[in-house]
Amino acid sequence: MHRFAVAGTLIVASAQAGVIRPLTIDEVAAAPHVVVCRVEKIALGPFVAAAKGARPAAVRHCTAKLRVLRAFPDFKAERIYLDHYCHGSNFAMANGHPAYAGLEPGRTYVFPLVPHGDGWKLLADEGYGLVVPVIDANPSGNPPSSKREFIFREIVNSLLHGDYPDLFRFSGYLQFRHARELNDEIMAALAAALPPGDPRWLDISTALLATEPTRLSDLAASGPPRDFFPDAVQALAARTLQEVPIERRREGILRNMLQHSALHPQTADTILMSEFKDDPLLVQLLPAYLARQQKGAVAIACSLAGEGQLALRDLTFAAALRVLRDRTADYTDTQGALGLLIHHGSDEQFEEYLVIMKEAKVHDRSRYRQMWEPAWEDKSPRILPILAVILDDPRGVSPWDDVRTCDFGGALLERHSGQKFGYKQWDKMPLPERNAALARARAWMKQALNSASSAPGPHSAASLPARR
């Protein structure tokens, strides 16, 4: 736990087991300086060793070059340097901590700054809500009279004038907060600036909904939303959605989720499948997003096909195979494509999956690992030929131990098949014991594949479930 005595106030960045409590803007305002800066560059420094009770794994010391846009109190410097921690290559968390600021070059934030040698540091080493995502544009109106007012004006300015990614970033900032903390103030400020039905209400509610997916029927539940949802994101989503004319809500959210699926592909897929999978407008609009190869669109189309939507079947299978060939494809799209081809692809389409996977095995190991990831949980018989590929891969998984990809394959095959090959705490087994278990797994796999080769494939495109 980190404590910082600032201006006579004790600030606690909570790192207790299982506790995620973001710093309030009152706590952030206790810093000597609150400064709006754009991150120009982040220099990665040396690794900082793990520390019991603070860091379960090594992190990096980093220095950010910041351009000062405005501050309270007034700040003379145009550019400053911020010392802070960054996530290292093997970053790990325990009970939600440590949570570092996660600064991104080109982004703008409110920074609570404390002098640190010749530079600056944040109010706390770690914690949720240490920095507030805002926008470059200066808020209008009278100058603020306090640091808290300065921060709140920046928040409202972002909601009123930021683009959709800015709204989504702020929605993430609201996570883990109680609705009582800021929501009433935010709603009052928005209502004073936006008339009912203004398109900005829909954008704000969509960004909030994409941050914490919630059924629209729940958001429209009777009773004051501030009481129905104690969570700040869900409560504010309910309240802002009430400002959208009811006849425009569903279509507006559907269109927004598709339009911005590249920004939040997983939650767009979740919301569209839970609320709109039977909506003809989704089937009508989706092909254009597939044609422009927008991130997130393939995941949505694959989910629709898995639900039995046949109208876009051929287009979706073609897009799924294209995604597998694209080394830069989004992870959510890739996982959607893998699931569709494993469960509903024809024998020829699944065979192409295996060919692409074997090519990635040689040329792109990161992509290759993604392509056998379904083997961790999927129970389909088609997992067997996927496991056969990794059973034949003796390469190490990481430079820190001697565990091989084929060891993963053997252990996964033991779980998938229900057979006992001799794996016991397989990642700690001596190499001779792993080799013996691997030999048994390979022998069983050879027999299983020989038996399967004489039978028709268990799945095909024709096995898509009937439309419900």
Q: Report the percentage of the chain scoring pLDDT > 70.
A: 86
**pLDDT value, residue 220:** 63
**Selected residue with higher pLDDT from 149 and 399:** 149
The SS3 call for residue 440 is: helix
Structure-token match 């603070």, residue found:
54
DSSP 96-160: TB-------TT-EEEEEEEEETTEEEESSSS-TTSSEEE-SSPPPSSPPSSHHHHHHHHHHHHHH
Q: Is the peptide bond before 73 cis (omega within 30 degrees of 0)?
A: yes
Q: Whole-number mean pLDDT of the chain? A: 87
Is the Cβ–Cβ distance between 110 and 154 less than 8 Å? yes
CATH number, domain containing residue 82:
2.40.50
424: pLDDT confidence band, cut at 50, 70 and 90?
confident
pLDDT band at 315 (very low <50, low <70, confident <90, very high): very high
Handedness of CA 227, 233, 238, 243 (dihedral sign): positive
For residues 430 and 423, the answer to whether their CB atoms sit within 8 Å is no
**Does the structure show a pLDDT above 80 at 300?**
yes
* Averaged pLDDT, 232-246: 93
Question: Is residue 176 situated within a structural domain?
Answer: no
Cis peptide before 98 (omega within 30 of 0): yes
> What confidence tier does 127 reach under pLDDT thresholds 50, 70, 90?
confident
User: Rounded CA gap, 187 and 427, in Å?
Assistant: 53
Task: Please indicate, yes or no, if residue 436 is contained in any of the structural domains.
Answer: yes
CB atoms within 10 A of CB 15: 22
pLDDT of the residue at 135: 98
206 is a domain residue: no
Number of domains observed in the structure of the chain: 2
Asked if the model's pLDDT at residue 223 lies above 90, the reply is no
* pLDDT confidence tier of residue 88, bands split at 50, 70 and 90: low
Q: Is residue 28 part of a domain?
A: yes
Contact 21, 124 (CB under 8 A): no
% of the chain surpassing 90 pLDDT: 71
Contact between residue 444 and residue 419 where contact means Cβ atoms under 8 Å apart: yes
Dihedral sign (CA 222, 227, 233, 234): negative
59-72 and 79-86 beta bridge pairing? antiparallel
> Is the pTM of the predicted complex or chain greater than 0.75?
yes
Quote the CA–CA distance of 461 and 468 in Å, as a whole number: 17
The reply to whether 235 falls in a domain is no
Last residue of a domain, one of 94, 123, 138: 138
Check pLDDT > 50 for residue 297: yes
Listed residue (90, 2, 87, 11) closest to 53, CA to CA: 2
Confidence of residue 168 (pLDDT cuts 50, 70, 90): very high
In a domain, 360, yes or no: no
pLDDT digits over 26-51, tens only?
Answer: 999 999 999 999 999 999 988 877 77
Domain encompassing residue 407: 375-468
Give the type of residue at 395.
R
Give the containing element (helix H, strand E) for 61: strand 59-72
Domain termination residue (choose one: 138, 173, 196): 138
Q: What is the pLDDT of residue 52?
A: 73
Show the DSSP H helices in 175-312 as ranges: 179-193, 199-211, 216-219, 225-228, 232-241, 246-259, 265-275, 280-291, 297-306
Q: Tell me whether residue 31 is in a domain.
A: yes
Contacts of 164 (CB under 8 A, 6+ apart): 203, 206, 207, 256, 260, 263
Last residue of a domain, one of 104, 138, 172: 138
Whether the per-residue pLDDT at 217 is higher than 80: the answer is no
Residue 404 counted as domain residue:
yes
CA distance 171 to 169: 5
Q: Which of 1, 2, 76, 78 is nearest to 37 (CA)?
A: 78
- For the chain, the C-alpha Rg in angstroms (whole number) is 26
